[in-house]
Structure 1
Amino acid sequence: MPVRLAIEADLDYWLPEPADILLQLEAAALPDQRLDSRALTVWSDHPIAATDGDEGMGQRCWARTQYRLMAQYRATVTVDRVAVDIAALPPTPPRALPGAVIPYLLPSRYCQSDRLEGFVRREFGGLSGGAMAQALLEWTRGALIYRSGVSQGDTTALDTFASRMGVCRDYAHLLVSLARAAEIPARCVGAYAPGVEPPDFHAVVELWLDGAWRLVDPTGMARVEEIVRICVGRDATDIAFMTVFGTAFFQAQRVAVHRLDG
């Protein structure tokens, strides 16, 4: 059954010197999520400019300013998506993958999947495809403790694997790395979702299974039927809600997602 969500996001940052800023705040228009209304306002010294997101999903926004950057995003989105039992999906051998999917099978800056291949073989040997994906998802949820303040912007999947703690970004990096180590293409997804605690931009994962990307939340906080995707990428570098080419200092930030039906 379709779910209607109201999304609000507000950013307020201080920039001591002029800088270019790349924003990814807008929900993507996709077959399984319809944008009923949307409005993005950015207070910038220069006109803002839109550019496509990775894989053609959503769009980014360039701004340039000094002193104060403020952005306000409001949207109403209808999500019409059915959760899939990924455990029942068959495997796809690497040689049969579409060309556009292959980069998500390889290690990336924060997802050193090649360093986790031995662990995956030892712990999950004999599994493949959806059964492997489900086992890795359940292991990640059970092995990690959700805790703010224990990771930083440069924390990698290996760091999280060692500490067994982190936030949604860390959960996503670890599951992506484990999946790639198991020869399952995986990518990080920037998203909005109700029920996220504390309320914030959310990071989830898409796994390539049986010819399509399958959405999962390794933290278990959000239901697949209620996740609104913003953008996708290899890791957190590609899905950051704000990338500053210079220096910026946090002043205030707020994200709120509410169900409008039921």
Structure 2
Amino acid sequence: MILEINSSFAFKLGDQPTDNLLQFEAAALSDQKVLSAKTHVSDPEHFTRVPAQDEVGERIWVRAKGECKVQYEARVEVTRKAFDIGSARLLKPHELPGHAVEYVFDSRYCQADRMQNFVADRFGKYTGGDKIVAISDWVAQNIAYEPGVSSAATTAFDTFGDRRGICRDFAHVVIAFARASAIPARYTSCYAPDVEPQDFHAVAELYIADDASEDGGSWQIVDPTGMADPAKTVKIGIGRDAADVSFMTTFGFAQFRNSSVDVREAA
């Protein structure tokens, strides 16, 4: 599956040079190949790339002032194989490899400790991948997708109480529920053609037993919004939650102007 991506966003900085950390490009991974890509940032004083979280994708340091516009276009081939989560086995905590362990801990937006009683009562009867399916289904059925109702301060516990949010919030609740069950879960930013309205998207990834993997497990996409088919999802980056993988983090004054995302299957 080849996807064509065109995205852009603009922001205004102050009169003094300001550092900004950006992450919006498709990551080069074993199951997605970047066939071509072009990135343009208007008039930066400094531009450099650094490895992103767990070396999934890259971040870009941009130091600039005044008006700044970012444009990105790419063609990416996704070769991700289908994975039956429902029939998979869950790894016990002592079986987890080191790189997955940090993703069972609480993080800024995903307070798993506050979810433990609910998760035990609601999902304790499930075993294996059926627990993950039940968690995703619960979020899909009990949280309304409503743009504009959450903010950068909204946590998984807030969304759990309000019962509404956007893709970021849906992913945070799945992650918190999974971690409350001792299942490693991480936040993944991505592009997908069926996202409506088109925008930067977010899904959860859970670490599940996988006999085909050298370390006994693999990260599998879980999207309770139903808008991201793993076979048509292009990953940008990963982190403990949204704080780790924002497409723009600024270290000074910044006024966000606009953004545009267009993702489609190649003809």
Same fold (TM over 0.5): yes
Q: What is the aligned partner in structure 1 of residue 71 from structure 2?
A: 72
- What's the CA shift string for 1:104-134, capped at 9, x where partnerless? 0010000000110100110111223311111
Check conservation: 1:89, 1:130, Cα contact below 8 A. Answer: yes
Cα separation, 2, equivalents of 1:7 and 1:232: 19
**TM-aligned CA deviation for residue 29 of structure 1:** 0.6
Q: What is the aligned partner in structure 2 of residue 255 from structure 1?
A: 261
Q: Does 1:39 align with 2:45?
A: no
**TM-aligned CA deviation for residue 221 of structure 1:** 1.0
In the TM superposition, what are the counterparts of 1:161-240 in structure 2 within 5 Å? 161-210=160-209, 211-240=217-246
Check conservation: 2:46, 2:64, Cα contact below 8 A. Answer: no
Match of 1:12 among 1, 7, 10: 10
Cα separation, 2, equivalents of 1:166 and 1:19: 31
Check conservation: 2:206, 2:220, Cα contact below 8 A. Answer: yes
Cα separation, 2, equivalents of 1:123 and 1:212: 25
Cα separation, 2, equivalents of 1:191 and 1:238: 14
In the TM superposition, what are the counterparts of 1:128-147 in structure 2 within 5 Å? 128-147=127-146
Check conservation: 1:129, 1:184, Cα contact below 8 A. Answer: no
Check conservation: 1:145, 1:165, Cα contact below 8 A. Answer: yes
Moved more, 28-37 or 8-17: 8-17
**TM-aligned CA deviation for residue 86 of structure 1:** 0.4
Q: Aligned AA for 1:181?
A: A
**TM-aligned CA deviation for residue 251 of structure 1:** 1.7
Q: Once superposed, what is the RMSD of the aligned Cα atoms? A: 1.0
- What's the CA shift string for 1:218-256, capped at 9, x where partnerless? 211121110000000000001100101112112221111
Q: Aligned AA for 1:102?
A: V
Instruction: Number of aligned residue pairs: give it.
Output: 259
In percent, how many aligned pairs have the same letter?
43
Q: What is the aligned partner in structure 2 of residue 246 from structure 1?
A: 252
Question: For 1:39, what is the secondary structure of its paired residue?
Answer: strand
Check conservation: 2:139, 2:173, Cα contact below 8 A. Answer: yes
Check conservation: 1:192, 1:229, Cα contact below 8 A. Answer: yes
Check conservation: 1:129, 1:209, Cα contact below 8 A. Answer: no
- What's the CA shift string for 1:185-241, capped at 9, x where partnerless? 000001000011111100011100001111121211121110000000000001100
**TM-aligned CA deviation for residue 15 of structure 1:** 1.0
Q: Does 1:50 align with 2:49?
A: yes
Cα separation, 1, equivalents of 2:4 and 2:172: 27
Q: Aligned AA for 1:16?
A: G
Check conservation: 1:44, 1:64, Cα contact below 8 A. Answer: no
Q: Does 1:157 align with 2:156?
A: yes
Question: For 1:48, what is the secondary structure of its paired residue?
Answer: strand
Question: Where does structure 1 differ by over 3 angstroms across 4 or more consecutive aligned residues?
Answer: none
Check conservation: 1:187, 1:235, Cα contact below 8 A. Answer: yes
- What's the CA shift string for 1:46-89, capped at 9, x where partnerless? 13000001111110000011111111111000111122110111
Cα separation, 2, equivalents of 1:253 and 1:230: 16
Q: Aligned AA for 2:251?
A: F
Cα separation, 1, equivalents of 2:44 and 2:89: 52
Q: Aligned AA for 1:216?
A: V
Runs of 5+ unmatched residues, structure 1? none
Check conservation: 1:206, 1:216, Cα contact below 8 A. Answer: yes
TM-score, normalised on structure 2? 0.95
Q: Aligned AA for 1:136?
A: I
Runs of 5+ unmatched residues, structure 2? 210-216
Cα separation, 1, equivalents of 2:165 and 2:77: 30
